[in-house]
Amino acid sequence: MNIALFSDTYYPEINGVATSIHLLKSGLEELGHTVYIFTTKSPHCPEEENAYRIFSIPFFLMKDRRASFPIYLKWLRIFKKLKIDIIHTHTEFSLGILGLRIAKKLNIKHVHTYHTIYEDYIHYLKLPKNKYTINFVKNATKYYCNKTSLVVAPTDKTKLLLEEYGVNSPIEVIPTGIELSKFNNIDYEYVKNLKNDFNIKNDDIVLITLGRLSEEKSVDLSINYYKKLCESIDNVKFIIVGDGPHKNYLENLSIELGLQDKIYFTGYVDWDKVQNYYAVANIFVSSSTSETQGLTYLEALASNLYLLVKEDDSLVGVLEDRINGCKFNNCEEFISGYNYLVEKLKDNNFSSNLNNKYSKSEYAKSVENVYKKLLGY
């Protein structure tokens, strides 16, 4: 098959959407398909075969995101030459609209993956979150998804949400996969240097969170709970990996709480090196409930880290409470979960319980089956 993937974000950007598309492209190519990427052009983005980069500028409401303005007729002409069998969009915005229009014009089957719960992102529009803005998000989502041939939801949580919105296009639940082997490919000399940089001692317990530092990820809640933990426990460090619009606020918060010698902000980390940062840590922490799936949870488990995460429906099938991690809903449960996991660490018999459905190959095969079903193969 000739497959076209549309997204407003793509490798080497570090976020869940960019990662999932990069892995999907790789997995589909390994199955023998030709995959074309249509995405934004950003500074210093590498050249990649069959990747079409469209001129873009920083989005004025989210400076670390980019908005493109594709010329429809130009890209329609290019598209016709590629003889595309199926279009798969991963955004509802500029590139997603381009994919939608081309699919309709050329009568091509159109799959859409719903990656983002936009109710949790209303604050970027500088608008209050109320029934009017939430209804706007619901209606816009429903309008787009109902124009497609089929919608992919990463979790049952996302599928139920779309059904509540009134989406009546068929919905398939397909968990996004990860490159499991990547997280065993550790540069131990690099890890040793990181531990020196972070002043980590042999008896320290290291917490880590990784991802975009934005308001909806609730990293500030993790910091506040960590502060409470430090009141009774001294040998625990916290590494915060990533960048984003909330980074300065979080750095200032850590200083206000007197944690500047215990919390380390790495800033942007190249995707090829993230496994080394996981390797420094013992426990992965997240207070986010805005995830449609949360690839970093899978990455942490693949890195043999326990999860200490806020309870959320997106974790069903990933977190096995008190086996591969602990859930929490408040500070008391956070501290209790931490203490339980520290005892588990002493046993040295961690089992992630990750199965093959979260591998890149299984992810690509599941998406391929959706394409085949739509095309009548």
Q: What is the 3-state secondary structure (H, E, C) of 245-293?
A: CCHHHHHHHHHHCCCCCCEEEEECCCHHHHHHHHCCCCEEEECCCCCCC
174 closest CA partner among 358, 377, 340, 374: 358
- The CA-atom distances, in angstroms, between 139 and each of 104, 143, 325 are 20, 6, 37
198 in helix, strand or coil? coil
pTM: 0.87
Q: Could you read off the pLDDT tens digit of each residue along the chain, which spans 377 residues?
A: 999 999 998 887 877 888 899 999 999 999 999 999 999 887 777 788 899 998 767 665 555 566 778 889 999 999 999 999 999 999 998 999 999 999 999 999 999 999 988 786 665 556 677 888 888 889 999 999 999 999 999 999 999 999 999 999 999 999 999 998 899 999 999 999 999 999 999 999 999 999 889 999 999 999 999 999 999 999 999 999 999 899 999 999 999 999 999 999 999 998 889 999 999 999 999 999 988 888 899 999 999 999 999 999 989 889 999 999 999 999 999 999 999 999 999 988 887 777 777 899 999 999 999 999 999 98
In the prediction, which pLDDT does 63 show? 55
Are the CB atoms for 334 and 229 separated by under 8 Å? yes
d(CA 331, CA 228): 8
In the prediction, which pLDDT does 65 show? 63
In the prediction, which pLDDT does 357 show? 78
Domains and CATH numbers, the chain: 2-177+359-375 (3.40.50.2000), 180-356 (3.40.50.2000)
Are the CB atoms for 125 and 133 separated by under 8 Å? yes
Greatest C-alpha distance within the chain: 65
In the prediction, which pLDDT does 143 show? 97
Give me the residues paired with residue 113 across strands: 152
205 closest CA partner among 342, 300, 349, 307: 342
In the prediction, which pLDDT does 125 show? 59
d(CA 354, CA 71): 43
Type of residue numbered 342:
V
Token output for 10: 């793509």
Please give the full DSSP string across 171-190, using - where no structure is assigned.
EEE-PPPB-GGGGG---HHH
Beta strands in the chain, from DSSP E residues, in sequence order:
2-6, 34-40, 51-54, 56-59, 62-68, 86-89, 109-113, 150-153, 171-173, 205-210, 236-241, 263-267, 283-286, 306-310, 325-328
Phi then psi for 266, rounded to 5 degrees?
A: -85, -20
In the prediction, which pLDDT does 263 show? 98
Query: Computed from CA positions of residues 358, 361, 364, 367, in that sequence, does the dihedral angle turn out positive or negative?
Result: negative
State the helix-helix crossing angle for 219-230 and 331-347, rounded to 10 degrees: 70
Phi then psi for 46, rounded to 5 degrees?
A: -75, 155
Q: CA 105, 106, 109: angle at the middle one, nearest 5?
A: 105
